[in-house]
């Protein structure tokens, strides 16, 4: 019995971690559809057999293997991997070997449960005969998603850069879709364009990622932006602008959130969702912030070894952050003359917004830092409503809601919480209809130059 327990615990460290993906099939779970396909293409460009798994088809399995107390994304992703492996077993019969695959499930440190998904899924997989040989490949925010160990050391930096660019390009395609779909000349044109773009941009990353020829990638992207612009009907007046914040998985996984964005659009919205690159930048920014704090503390105590260690971390994470921010800026800047896509908030600026308004702190961590500051920025920029999308019981999003609701009411801006747990929410559509009515009124007041009572946002 003791030996079995030992083995179970050992599996959490020996079968979850950064493993080389060379000669394995690397399974990527879907979060935001575009981003996952582009990331898979980057892996393919570096010679890795990467595949994006179908999503939401194994939800029943996910529910069967969870107790209902886990976060909803954990149920969905558990279902995705179990469903995929079952299908592979069916397809390959006796040739099926779980050891040939690595399942990708990153983690985040900090006071919430994302750090536990891959451990929980390890326990589930270990309970199914044969699946103990399927390794879980994990990257962590603790080192700003370093890929060393997964990709050969000498190519890890290039890979990381290409992967980051794929995240930015996916954000831009998402933002293009949300910018043009509410104004398309004919229903379905914008979606069809983006479907084409996923295939074509994936091809671009497969061809150019390893050589870091990002100009060639952006050239193709520019073509899609031009096409997208041409699909807009210029006689349709600008619609109320709705800013979305929330938990990264739910707000970007259209099946899991029952396509809230499309429903908002159906009731007259133009939507901007917080980006994925914002989270990636945040993880790098937070490592820089921690290194700076550690350096200051050790300088005071004159601990020379620690000073060197923190200075080196500060330098390396600082370089990562600088690279990311400059690549992101460059991509958005290049498209500026073609279409007015909203840019991204700089994470340092978001921290300052929280400090100046004394609302929350980066010391606590989690996405609440980004969501609360992001809401303030949306309000500052004149958005007509805010929607917070998150898994039922999600800790950071519940904190966001507690702080954002009174703030939104004080600044007279419509605000809506949309918790999701996979069940059909009968009141959701009615709530969105009412919310959009308020957002429309907000827009009309703004156009008439009538502000709210509070105007003191810093």
Rounded to a whole number of angstroms, the minimum distance from the CB of residue 36 to ligand SF4 is 17
- Is the separation of the CB atoms in 116 and 71 below 8 Å? no
Q: Which is closer to ligand SF4, CB of 100 or CB of 417?
A: 417
Rounded to a whole number of angstroms, the minimum distance from the CB of residue 251 to ligand SF4 is 11
Rounded to a whole number of angstroms, the minimum distance from the CB of residue 67 to ligand SF4 is 14
Q: Which is closer to ligand SF4, CB of 243 or CB of 396?
A: 396
Separation of alpha carbons 147 and 153, rounded Å: 9
Contacts 24+ apart (CB under 8 A), 85-92: 85/131, 85/134, 86/58, 86/61
Q: Provide the edge-to-edge strand list for the sheet that holds 270-273.
A: 270-273, 241-246, 385-391, 415-420
Rounded to a whole number of angstroms, the minimum distance from the CB of residue 114 to ligand SF4 is 4
Binding stretches for ligand SF4 (CB under 6 A):
71, 73, 112-114, 247, 367, 391, 394-396
Q: Which is closer to ligand SF4, CB of 365 or CB of 452?
A: 365
Q: Write the DSSP string, 189-256.
A: HHHHHHHHHHHHHHHHHHHHTTTT-HHHHHHHHHHHHHHHHHTB-TTSPPPPEEEEEE-HHHHH-TTT
φ/ψ bin of 421: left (φ > 0), alpha (ψ from -120 to 50), beta (otherwise):
alpha
Rounded to a whole number of angstroms, the minimum distance from the CB of residue 119 to ligand SF4 is 12
Paired tokens of 434: 């009412």
Q: Which is closer to ligand SF4, CB of 26 or CB of 114?
A: 114
Rounded to a whole number of angstroms, the minimum distance from the CB of residue 180 to ligand SF4 is 30
Rounded to a whole number of angstroms, the minimum distance from the CB of residue 113 to ligand SF4 is 4
Paired tokens of 93: 């019969």
Q: Which is closer to ligand SF4, CB of 21 or CB of 244?
A: 244
| Dihedral sign, Cα of residue 26, residue 54, residue 173, residue 424 | negative
Separation of alpha carbons 315 and 20, rounded Å: 27
Q: How many CB atoms lie within 10 A of CB 396?
A: 24
Q: Which is closer to ligand SF4, CB of 117 or CB of 411?
A: 117
Q: Which is closer to ligand SF4, CB of 72 or CB of 435?
A: 72
């Amino acid at each position: 019995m003791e030996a079995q327990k030992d083995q179970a615990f050992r599996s959490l460290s020996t079968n979850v971690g950064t493993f080389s993906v060379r000669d394995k099939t690397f399974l990527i779970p879907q979060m935001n559809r575009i981003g996952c396909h582009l990331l898979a293409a980057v892996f393919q460009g570096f010679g890795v057999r990467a595949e994006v798994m179908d999503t939401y088809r194994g939800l029943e399995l996910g529910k069967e293997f969870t107790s209902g107390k886990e976060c909803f994304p954990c149920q969905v992703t558990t279902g995705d991997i179990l469903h995929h492996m079952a299908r592979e077993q069916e397809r390959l019969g006796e040739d099926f070997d779980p050891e040939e695959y690595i399942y990708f499930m990153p983690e985040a440190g900090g006071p919430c449960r994302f750090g536990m998904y891959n451990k929980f899924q390890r326990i589930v997989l270990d309970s199914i005969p044969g699946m103990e040989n399927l390794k879980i490949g994990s990257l962590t925010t603790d080192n700003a998603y370093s890929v060393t160990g997964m990709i050969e050391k000498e190519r890890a930096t290039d890979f990381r850069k290409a992967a980051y660019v794929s995240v930015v390009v996916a954000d831009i395609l998402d933002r293009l879709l949300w910018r043009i779909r509410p104004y398309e000349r004919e229903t379905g044109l914008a979606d069809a364009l983006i479907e084409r773009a996923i295939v074509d941009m994936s091809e671009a990353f497969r061809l150019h990622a390893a050589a870091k020829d990002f100009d060639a990638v952006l050239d193709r992207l520019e073509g899609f932006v031009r096409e997208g612009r041409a699909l807009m009907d210029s006689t349709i007046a600008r619609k109320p602008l709705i800013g979305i914040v929330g938990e990264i998985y739910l707000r970007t996984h259209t099946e899991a959130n029952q396509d809230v964005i499309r429903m908002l659009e159906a009731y007259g919205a133009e939507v901007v969702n917080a980006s994925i690159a914002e989270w990636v930048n945040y993880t790098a920014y937070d490592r820089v912030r921690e290194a700076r704090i550690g350096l200051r503390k050790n300088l005071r105590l004159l601990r020379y070894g620690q000073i060197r260690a923190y200075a080196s971390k500060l330098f390396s994470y600082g370089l990562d952050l600088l690279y990311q921010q400059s690549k992101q800026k460059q991509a958005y800047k290049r498209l500026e003359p073609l279409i007015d896509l909203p840019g991204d908030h700089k994470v340092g600026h978001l921290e300052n917004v929280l400090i100046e308004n004394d609302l929350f702190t980066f010391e606590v961590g989690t996405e609440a830092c980004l969501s609360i500051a992001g809401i303030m920025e949306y309000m500052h920029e004149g958005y007509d409503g805010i929607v917070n999308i998150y898994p039922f019981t999600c800790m950071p999003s519940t904190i966001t809601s507690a702080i954002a609701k009174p703030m939104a009411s004080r600044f007279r801006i419509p605000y809506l919480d949309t918790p999701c747990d996979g069940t059909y929410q009968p009141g959701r559509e009615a709530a969105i209809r009412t919310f959009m009515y308020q957002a429309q009124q907000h827009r009309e007041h703004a156009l008439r130059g009538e502000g709210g009572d509070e105007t003191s946002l810093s």
